[in-house]
Amino acid sequence: MHRYRSHTCAALSKSDVGATVRLSGWVHRVRDHGGVLFIDLRDHYGITQVVADPDSPAFKTAETVRGEWVIRIDGVVKARAPETINANMATGEVELYAHEIEVLSAAKELPLPVFGEPDYPEDVRLKYRFLDLRRETLHRNIVRRTQIISAMRRGMDEAGFAEYTTPILTASSPEGARDFLVPSRIHQGKFFALPQAPQQYKQLLMVAGFDRYFQIAPCFRDEDPRADRLPGEFYQLDVEMSFVTQEDVWETMEPMMTEVFEQFAEGKPVTRNWPRIPYEEAVRKYGSDKPDLRNPIIMEAVTEHFAGSGFKVFAGMIASNPKVEVWAIPAKTGGSRAFCDRMNAWAQSQGQPGLGYIFWRKEGETLDGAGPLAKNIGPERTEAIRTQLGLGEGDACFFVAGEPSKFYKFAGEARNRAADELNLIDRDRYEFCWIVDFPFYEWNEDEKKIDFAHNPFSMPQGGLDALKGEDPLAIKAYQYDAVCNGFEIASGSIRNQSPETMVAAFEKVGLSQQDVEDRFGGLYRAFQYGAPPHGGCAFGIDRIVMLLVGAKNLREISLFPMNQQAQDLLMNAPAPATPAQLRELALRVVPDPKKKD
């Protein structure tokens, strides 16, 4: 028999009754039932109930073991009595009668519980992450993560892709966040950067003729943490294809990712055909470029109903500024003054002056609009709004006004707030879409200049002619995001493979041809030697896993995450370098004048 086990703790069944077996694992818990000890033994695969009665030679040792000790048990498999069968356990029809127990490793008193799922301070959980990972839900999430990644790899292989690995030490690249810099010992005063994404390398692979690339790629960004993004590093399914249009990318990746979700959705419905929604349409209908389509609320412009109306606030704004619009946020079943007042109070808590509303109720046989706005604009305009939005008795509508570019995000938040409070969202499904036709440039108000709105290596719609002849802020790009349940899970584009177009695109944001050659020399040179049309995308693995396991925080699906202050409490990183290390790198640490001793 093997030194430690003949079976795992999930393997025993009624077919093993009468067999002598050996198990090893952790003591999940010990129960004393009138002198008979029951030990739940746990390993990576599951749990087996072990029985040690006073007549067993293992009983004396069984009395000493405690939770989370690692032990080896030899014994005989017996069937449980019908009334003691545990249908919730894979091994619930049998138990192991111990005749020998060996303690392989004793455990000190635990700094946090691993049995059950109690709330516990995060700093303790992260410092003792190796214990935290024994908790059932977290352990299961990590296993599910590996299964999801394996399914992605199978799907990519079936679609004709090959996995290539790209360098980790590279040059700095403008991916929209701060780089992690790595000082060079050999080339003192110079620095590598950890890749924010393998963007340039995967494009170079297309120039090199590899056609269909993918990689489960680690990416590094020195940015502040938030619930749906971990500090430091994250992983993405990185994809690139040659001789493709954006439709080819969608038609390749959409069915593969749909199948991955269906495999792990546990029966929840998954969108089979992802709608393509232009960016401007998404902003106007949902107030977001990552809309949650489970939310049935669709916003509409109702400016004409307030122009010249008795509601002087909106009417005056419309008359004085041609850019002003009024948007309606219809809220079915929200037609009570109490709910409308709560929404108004919420808006004020967000720094807004308020949230105008109308709600509809029946007075006898008449359906009337109620609320201050209804009184100001009159019954005819109120009825026109109700008819346009398809509302009825017991429904409400909220209104925001101004220049859409300044209020659309708040309108989207109000849309989500109303649907959440009214329980309009079907949370047991996965709704996907592609957001397409993103702006190529945006205005940077802080620096008073034009910046790239998305990926700087994308192809502008209209190509070089558009860059030379159109208003930069009117140019759209062959860029697209995949969205699921309100989360951006992928971003991609058709790339620009023309050196002339590349230079022209960067000139719009203030970089010269020499800057392009200096900063992106590898890509710039490659495009001059026969670059195929190519495009791709990158799916965020961490967010996908979070959605599929129902986690609220990415730390619940990651092995060894940092805390909210971007610290690794387990390994005590970051940590100071030794004087010898700094001398080798020709570096000196300059004290932060803002920090006091």
Tokens of 179: 């780089």
The annotation status of 395 as a binding-site residue, yes or no, is: no
Q: Which residues are CB-contacts of 566 (< 8 A; sequence separation ≥ 6)?
A: 224, 225, 231, 232
Which one, of 574, 575, 538, lies nearest residue 196 by Cα? 538
Closest CA to 247 of 397, 389, 393, 434: 434
CB of 94 within 8 A of CB of 80?
A: yes
Cα 65–chain centre separation: 42
Q: Is 223 annotated as a binding residue?
A: yes
Please name which of 220, 214, 255 lies closest in space to residue 237, comparing C-alpha atoms: 214
Answer for the pair 412, 398: CB distance below 8 angstroms, yes or no. Answer: no
> What b-and-e string marks burial along 178-217, b requiring 16 or more CB atoms within 10 Å of the CB?
ebbeebeeeeeeeebbbbbbbbbbbbbbbbeeebbbbbbb
The answer on whether 73 is annotated among ligand-binding residues is no
User: Helix, strand, or coil here: 577?
Assistant: coil
* DSSP conformation letters of 302-368: -HHHHTTSS-HHHHHHHHH-TT-EEEEEEETT--SHHHHHHHHHHHHHTT-S--EEEEEEEETTEEE
Containing 204, the helix (H) or strand (E) segment is helix 199-207
Report the C-alpha gap between 295 and 298 in whole angstroms. Answer: 8
* Length of the chain, in residues: 597
Does the CA dihedral 505-507-510-514 come out positive or negative? positive
Task: Determine if residue 95 is labeled as part of a ligand binding site.
Answer: no
Please state, in angstroms and rounded to a whole number, the distance separating the CA atoms of residues 98 and 72: 10
Confirm whether residue 542 is marked as ligand binding. yes
Q: Residue 365, annotated ligand binder?
A: no
User: In sequence order, what are the beta bridge partners of 401?
Assistant: 326
122 is in an annotated binding site: no
Q: Does 451 belong to an annotated binding site? A: no
Query: Which residues, at least 6 apart from 420, have a Cβ–Cβ distance to it below 8 Å?
Result: none
Distance CA 381, CA 358 (A): 11
Query: Distance between CA 526 and CA 156 in Å, rounded?
Result: 26
Collapsing DSSP states into helix, strand and coil, what is residue 197? coil
Per the annotation, does 541 bind a ligand? yes
Spatial neighbors of 484 by CB under 8 A, at least 6 apart, are 261, 430, 431, 432, 544, 547
Is 420 assigned a ligand-binding role in the annotation? no
- 454 labelled ligand-binding: yes
Q: β-pairing, 162-163 with 212-221? A: parallel
Q: Known binding site: residues? A: 175, 221-223, 454, 488, 495, 540-543
Query: Which residues sit in the known binding site for ATP?
Result: 221-223, 488, 540-543
In the annotated binding site for L-aspartate, the residues are 175, 221, 454, 495
